[in-house]
């Protein structure tokens, strides 16, 4: 499920959530809704690329991943995970959710 938000600074963000409402990915801010919707329309293509996922560890030892578009620009980041296996499972779940999104109407 994708939840779109209009932020107080007039930008738009989206979260990709599990059925239980847990956010797997929080997007970067977009200045206009059209650009954000273009990005959402391309998610299915980008999840097929292994290079879209950048795995990281923060200074507290928590794992997270960044999701990038085909140009290497950041689309969003994940929540923090206590284990590398949890992070990999988060990537797997994200791919499953995105692959089941309806195709955009053209």
**pLDDT profile of the chain (106 residues), mean per 10:** 89 92 93 93 92 95 96 95 96 94 67
**What residues does 27 pair with on adjacent strands?**
76
Distance CA 58, CA 60 (A): 5
Query: How much is the pLDDT for 106?
Result: 52
Provide the CATH number for the domain around residue 13.
2.30.29.80
- Assigned domain for 106 exists: no
Query: Alpha helix (H) ranges present in the chain?
Result: 33-46, 84-99
How many structural domains compose the chain?
1
Q: How many CB atoms lie within 10 A of CB 78?
A: 22
Query: How much is the pLDDT for 21?
Result: 87
Q: Please, which residues have CB within 8 angstroms of residue 91's CB and are 6 or more apart in sequence?
A: 53, 65, 78
Distance CA 34, CA 68 (A): 18
Query: How much is the pLDDT for 104?
Result: 63
**pTM for this model (two decimals):** 0.88
- Its domain, for residue 17, covers 2-99
- Assigned domain for 104 exists: no
């Amino acid at each position: 499920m994708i939840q779109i938000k209009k932020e107080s600074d007039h930008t738009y963000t989206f979260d990709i959530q599990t059925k239980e409402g847990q956010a797997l990915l929080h997007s970067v801010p977009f200045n206009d809704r059209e650009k954000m919707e273009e990005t959402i329309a391309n998610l299915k293509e980008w999840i097929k690329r292994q290079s879209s996922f950048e795995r990281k560890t923060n200074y507290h030892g928590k794992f997270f991943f960044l999701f990038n578009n085909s140009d290497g620009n950041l689309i969003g980041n994940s929540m923090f995970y206590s284990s590398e296996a949890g992070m990999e499972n988060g990537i797997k779940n994200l791919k499953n959710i995105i692959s089941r999104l309806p195709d955009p109407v053209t």
